[in-house]
């Protein structure tokens, strides 16, 4: 089952990115990311923010909780089976 596209996350992300840049933050931005893109951005963020005193992640999009674990849902996620949660989403509890 694919998630219904949301109309505002791209606008929200651009507004937050602009606000953070104006506040002096370095910003890594991604909009409408597929599974591979989300994992790549998270890896890049982890590397670039490793020694930072403060790091912020903003996410606007679909998410879900299953068995007490939270997941971000990429735009290409097809969750036709619970088994796909680990391979087609981004688990944020790890």
3-class DSSP state of 65: strand
- 44 inside domain: yes
Domain, as residue range, for 78: 9-91
pLDDT of residue 2: 64
Asked whether residue 84 is domain-assigned, the answer is yes
**Does 86 map to a domain?**
yes
Q: What is the pLDDT of residue 45?
A: 97
Distances (CA, A) of 31 to 24, 38, 45, 59, 63: 21, 9, 15, 10, 15
Q: Looking at the domain assignment, is residue 1 inside a domain?
A: no
Domains in the chain, number: 1
Strand-pair partners of 64: 71
Residue 56 has pLDDT above 60, yes or no: yes
Per the domain annotation, does 24 fall within a domain?
A: yes
Residue 3 lies in a domain: no
| Beta carbons within 10 angstroms of residue 82's beta carbon | 9
Asked whether residue 43 is assigned to any structural domain, the reply reads yes
């Amino acid at each position: 089952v694919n998630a219904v596209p949301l109309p505002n996350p791209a606008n929200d992300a651009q507004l937050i990115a602009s606000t953070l840049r104006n506040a002096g933050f370095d910003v890594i931005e991604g909009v409408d990311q597929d599974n591979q893109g989300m994992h790549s951005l998270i890896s890049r963020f982890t590397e670039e923010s490793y020694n930072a005193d403060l790091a912020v992640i903003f996410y606007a999009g679909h998410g879900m909780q299953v068995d007490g674990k939270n997941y971000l849902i990429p735009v290409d996620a097809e969750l036709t089976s619970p088994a796909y949660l680990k391979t087609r989403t981004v688990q944020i509890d790890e």
